[in-house]
Amino acid sequence: MAKRESTFINMVVTLFLVTGIAAAGLGFVYDLTKGPIEVARLKAQSEAIKQVLPEFDTLGTSFKTLAEEGGDSLEFFPAYKNGRLVGTAVQTYTKKGFNGFISIMAGIDEAGNFSGYSVLEHEETPGLGSKMDVWFNNPEKPKQFVIGKNPNNTNFTVSKDGGDIDAITASTISSRAFLDALTRAYSSYEKNSDATSGLTGN
Amino acid sequence: MNQWKNFSKGFIKENPVFVLLLGMCPTLGVTSSAINGLGMGLATTFVLLMSNIVVSLVKNLIPEKVRIPSFIVIIAAFVTIVQLAMQAYLPSLYKSLGLFIPLIVVNCIVLGRAEAFASKNTLVSSAIDGVGIGLGFSFALVLLGSIREILGSGKIFNITLYSENYVTLLFVLAPGAFIVLGYLIAIINRIKKN
């Protein structure tokens, strides 16, 4: 079985066929997995919303808003119980993480305090920055607990920077990023609270 | 060639991590826990198997001078398939490995086996070689991941063994990966010498 010779035509035809077949195969698989990927994404999102908000029965239509100082938009999910607004989940983000981008779902209750959060995406160091999903959620450590607070009554910076929140041990950068994301969610929420309350009547 | 030997060589004699020292980037990067190591190992095994099969089938159709780009395209196609499938059906594993899956393309074990083995051997031998090397790689990653997880976060496969207050954080970080890998290679060399 002799190998095909490396003539120009042979090489061009081979590469063309190899890439063509690969592209067709990938297109097929993409089509096949497109549905399940979207379902998995939405499921993760709705689970996060349930986790961060007080009990609710209906989720209003979500809307997007431009973040301050430009950047990507934040997505708002108002939640209702018996027709009354009980809280809003805000999908917020920061780019200041130790390894860049972090996406967080933050819940804000009707009193304007954080009711919970859930880290959707991050690339922080395992064992250090990755602890943020439990660190700021621990009611036994009030100095690092963010639930029930908001940036108007609490200084949302780490204590090292003169703030009121204790940073994760050995992960000040991740902690700053986390608080940056929450502050961004809150300031955007405040700006939009008129729009949100306008929807309450529904 | 004896097919059993062909299969089992991946575990110790030609283990990609401990002996060939190929594919160090995912090895050191993802093994911060045992489950990550297992996921990465199995994903790589699938890619190795499929790319070895396809490469051994088309080995005579591909001109010598364009074989490397052709192999890379074949490998990249299978990696993307793994990535899409994992995103669709195992989203939580994808969340922890996401960044490293595309890097399987440049994992030199995969191209190494395509070039050194599959392009010179029959379909059956190549498939067996792919699975053997892939499982050897998985075995090494799980071993490395388990040791790092036990020492660095006091858990194994997410089951807590002892309090987090006594862990040595170093082991889940990059330097820990190098240290554990170094000791493992030393132990394996010692065993092989006997």
Q: What is the ipTM of this complex?
A: 0.72
Q: What is the pLDDT of residues B51-60, one digit of tens each?
A: 999 999 888 8
Say whether residue A11 is in contact with chain B using an 8 A CB cutoff: yes
Is A79's pLDDT higher than 90? no
Instruction: Determine the Cα–Cα distance for residues B75 and A138; give it in Å rounded to an integer.
Output: 45
Q: CB contact, 8 Å: A4 with chain B? A: yes
Task: Give yes or no for a contact between A92 and A106, defined as CB atoms under 8 angstroms apart.
Answer: yes
Looking at chain B, which residue has its C-alpha nearest residue A20? B73
**Amino acid identity, residue A187?**
S
A28 touches chain B (CB under 8 A): no
From the CA of A41, how many Å to the nearest CA of chain B? 8
Which residues of A are less than 8 Å from B101 in CB distance? none
Across the range A79-85, mean pLDDT stands at 83
Percent residues over pLDDT 90 in chain A = 9
Name the band, by pLDDT with cuts 50, 70 and 90, for residue B76: very high
Residues A59-79 have a mean pLDDT of: 74
Burial class (CB in 10 A: 0-12, 13-18, 19+), B175: exposed
Best A1, A8, A37 residue to mutate vs chain B (most B CBs within 10 Å): A37
Name the pLDDT band for B45 (thresholds 50, 70, 90): very high
Q: Are strands A73-81 and A84-97 parallel, antiparallel or unpaired?
A: antiparallel
DSSP bridge pairs for A78: A88
* pLDDT grade for B18, boundaries at 50, 70 and 90: confident
Q: Decide if A26 and B80 are in contact by the 8 Å CB cutoff.
A: yes
CA–CA distances in Å: residue A52 to residues A119, A125, A146: 10, 24, 12
What token pair was written down for A90? 């805000």
Residue A200 confidence class, pLDDT cut points 50, 70, 90? very low
**Which comes out higher in pLDDT, residue A151 or A200?**
A151
- Beta-carbon contacts of A107 under 8 Å, excluding residues fewer than 6 positions away, are A49, A51, A52, A53, A54, A87, A88, A89, A90, A114, A115, A116, A117
- Of A58 and B78, the one with more pLDDT: B78
Question: Is A199 in the B-facing interface, judged by CB distances under 8 Å?
Answer: no
Residue in B76, B80, B88 closest to A40 by CB: B88
Find out whether B180 and B168 touch, Cβ atoms under 8 Å.
no
| Whether A29 contacts chain B with CB within 8 A | yes
Q: How far is A30 from chain B, CA to nearest CA, in Å?
A: 7
Indicate whether B169 pLDDT > 80. Answer: no
* Predicted confidence band of residue A198 (pLDDT cuts 50, 70, 90): very low
- B66, B57, B69, B40: which is closest to B127 by C-alpha? B57
Tell me the pLDDT band of B31, cut-offs 50, 70 and 90: confident
pLDDT-based confidence at A25, cuts 50/70/90? very high
Report the 3 state secondary structure along chain B.
CCHHHHHHCCCCCCCCCCCCCCCHHHHHHHCCCHHHHHHHHHHHHHHHHHHHHHHHHHCCCCCHHHHHHHHHHHHHHHHHHHHHHHHHHCHHHHHHHCCCCHHHHHCHHHHHHHHHHHCCCCHHHHHHHHHHHHHHHHHHHHHHHHHHHHHHHCEECCEECCCHHHCCHHHHCHHHHHHHHHHHHHHHHHHHHC
What residues of chain A lie within 8 A of the CB of B60, using their CB? 1-4
Query: Which residue among A6, A36, A40 sits closest to B63, beta carbon to beta carbon?
Result: A6
Within 8 A of A99 by CB-CB distance, chain B residues are none
Predicted local confidence at residue A201, as pLDDT: 41
3-state secondary structure of A192: helix
The mean predicted confidence, pLDDT, of chain A is: 82
Mean pLDDT on B16-37 = 82
| Chain A residues close to B67, C-beta within 8 Å | none
Mutate to test the interface with B, among A5, A18, A31, A45 (most CBs of B within 10 A): A18
Distance between CA B171 and CA B149 in Å, rounded? 8
Q: Which residue of A has its CA nearest to B69?
A: A15
Bridge-based pairing state of the strands A73-81 and A63-66: antiparallel
Give me the pLDDT at residue A1, please: 43
A2 with B60: Cβ contact below 8 A: yes
Assess whether pLDDT exceeds 80 at residue B44: yes
Average pLDDT, chain B: 85
Residues B53 and A83: their CA atoms lie apart, in Å, by 59
User: Mean pLDDT over residues A118-135, rounded?
Assistant: 80
Which tens digits make up the pLDDT trace of A155-195? 888 888 888 888 888 888 999 999 988 888 888 888 776 55
Give first-to-last CA distance, chain B, whole Å. Answer: 26
Distance (Å, rounded) from C-alpha B57 to C-alpha B63?
14
- Residue A2 pLDDT greater than 60, yes or no: no
Per-residue confidence (pLDDT) for residue A27, from 0 to 100 = 93
Average pLDDT over residues B113-139: 89
Contact B64 A127 (CB under 8 A): no
Average pLDDT estimate for A97-122: 86
Q: How far is A121 from chain B (nearest CA, A)?
A: 7
pLDDT digits (tens, 9 = 90+) for B133-142: 999 999 999 9
Higher pLDDT, B179 or A6: B179
Q: What is the pLDDT of residue A19?
A: 92
Q: A46 CA to chain B: closest CA distance, Å?
A: 14
Half-sphere exposure of B54 (CA within 13 A, CB side): 20
